[in-house]
A and B are shown apart, each in its own frame.
Chain A
């Protein structure tokens, strides 16, 4: 097997793996974005900043308190979710009855403020974060070398996406979420405390983003702009998957990652635009996205 689809297998699988890793992050992030959009009807432009705060959370816990990767993987999403609750109660809840545009502008502003604060404090050169000792090294699969930590990221992303899907499609809490997404007024009139449910959903969404941020810290540099670079791609992913579709957001995340990886292998010049070309094609063929419901 000297060549695979016209290129050395190492290069082919290397790019495929890179695509899969990126896809794992796209999936985790677009998932939270889709859940938040479904419930709050807010296009959360601060989602990338939340992911960045997650990565910084892990870095700060490590460097200021000596708390390692594993506890940080639990602690950081919880802390960020708590901050999310405060943000939702103080700012976002005033936007629900207004046009979508206000939510977009408010969260965009929040993203700028959060990123600005971190830039001010930490600069933009990026801070290193060690891979946890248990996951250092890699495995030789024969056709390629698979770093253990990257395999772990893909696995965790799949578990997380499946867990979230299960929560929403198969549990009572998820039933309330789906119903509230459809008809908030009526669900509330049945006696369910909808405002509390919305706060919890936002906390869940930002918690997922922070979790992705912690996972990203050892792979990408911990950088105030790391979320900024990602958020536009994440929006394209959500559009490709279909606004509000959990399954769509997850699968489109991996799809976009893989397509990007393959483009990098075959035609690197187009690797950063291919996402948007894909989005345009999907919008032409299926305007509501791959898994979205027709309006």
Chain B
């Protein structure tokens, strides 16, 4: 029996009048990298935000380490051990690179130290005193990932970390995520770039119109390539 860290059951969510998630179900096991694949507007980002407690209108259940997360505020979810790296990266322009790194408080033991983070991301050490938004897009993405590793959260929610980046940077981010995975973090990754996703993930869920339409193991990816291309419209 795998150790299920995150269990999403019959999750429904709304943005005002629009009904985004329809009875969503999936699991993430401890130590896994799981991706949510799907076209634009399928509800991937909404899923992450709902897990994180950032949306107010929802029904169903999200349990993390056996504890119900739905109806908690986002700061309470964070203190339970989940942290989000948002799609727009959320680098603060009024904070230096180092302040951006130190902003998310350490909420549990077991996170990486600032020293370990600088070892993994040497560029951030070089640019520690710069304004956060003076970094290049790729550097900002690294900063956005780096700063959530300190918090001690065990589940990382990464929202399209490769969006808008050059292939060489995407490759770097891929190897960083593999390194993070080796250190025992569990990752729920939202991606549109399924080549990138297939390079690091264990399993993929395909989401369409707010529900899971398929689950594909990374090892069975090859025989399912055509199906997947069809789902994603590529």
Q: Residues of A with Cβ closer than 8 Å to B?
A: 172, 175-176, 178-179, 181-183, 185-194
Contacts and interface: CB of A to CB of B under 8 A. Distances in A.
A186 B90 contact: yes
B78 interface: yes
B103 A187 contact: yes
Given A178-B95, A189-B77, 7 more contacts: A175-B99, A185-B74, A186-B84, A190-B104, A190-B148, A191-B75, A191-B107
12 contacts: A175-B102, A179-B92, A182-B94, A186-B84, A186-B90, A189-B84, A190-B78, A190-B83, A190-B104, A191-B79, A191-B104, A194-B75
B95 A188 contact: no
Contact of A191 (B78, B92, B93): B78
A175 B105 CA distance: 12
B52 interface: yes
A101 to B, nearest CB: 21
A193 B99 contact: no
Interface in B43-88: 52-54, 73-75, 77-79, 83-84, 86
Contacts of A181: 94
A189 B75 contact: yes
Contacts of B148: 190
B103 A175 contact: yes
A194 B83 CA distance: 16
A182 B105 CA distance: 17
Pick from A182, A193, A194 the residue with the most CB of B within 10 Å.
A182
Given A175-B99, A175-B103, A181-B94, A188 B86 contact: no
Interface of B: 52-54, 73-75, 77-79, 83-84, 86, 90, 92-95, 99, 102-105, 107, 148, 151
Pick from A175, A179, A186 the residue with the most CB of B within 10 Å.
A186
Given A179-B94, A182-B92, A190 B54 contact: no
Nearest to B81: A191
B103 A183 contact: no
B171 to A, nearest CB: 27
A12 B84 CA distance: 60
Given A175-B99, A175-B103, A188 B75 contact: yes
A178 B100 CA distance: 11
B102 A189 contact: no
A179 B95 contact: yes
A161 to B, nearest CB: 18
A190 B105 contact: yes
Contacts of B73: 188
A186 B102 CA distance: 14
B105 A192 contact: yes
A186 B86 contact: yes
A183 B92 contact: yes
A185 to B, nearest CB: 6
Given A189-B54, A190-B83, A190-B103, A183 B90 contact: yes
Contacts of A178: 92, 94-95
A189 B78 contact: yes
A236 B34 CA distance: 54
A192 B76 CA distance: 9
Nearest to B79: A191
Pick from A181, A187, A191 the residue with the most CB of B within 10 Å.
A191
Contacts of B77: 189
Contacts of B86: 186
A144 to B, nearest CB: 41
A179 to B, nearest CB: 5
Contacts of B102: 172, 175
A183 B74 CA distance: 14
Contacts of A172: 102
A175 B104 CA distance: 11
Contacts of B52: 189
Given A191-B78, A192-B75, A179 B93 contact: no
A288 to B, nearest CB: 14
A190 B151 contact: yes
A176 B53 CA distance: 20
Nearest to A244: B94
B107 to A, nearest CB: 5
A190 B84 CA distance: 8
A179 B100 CA distance: 9
A182 B75 CA distance: 17
B80 to A, nearest CB: 9
Closest 7 pairs between A and B when the two form their complex, measured CB to CB: A191-B78, A190-B104, A189-B74, A178-B94, A186-B90, A179-B92, A191-B107
Contacts of B107: 191
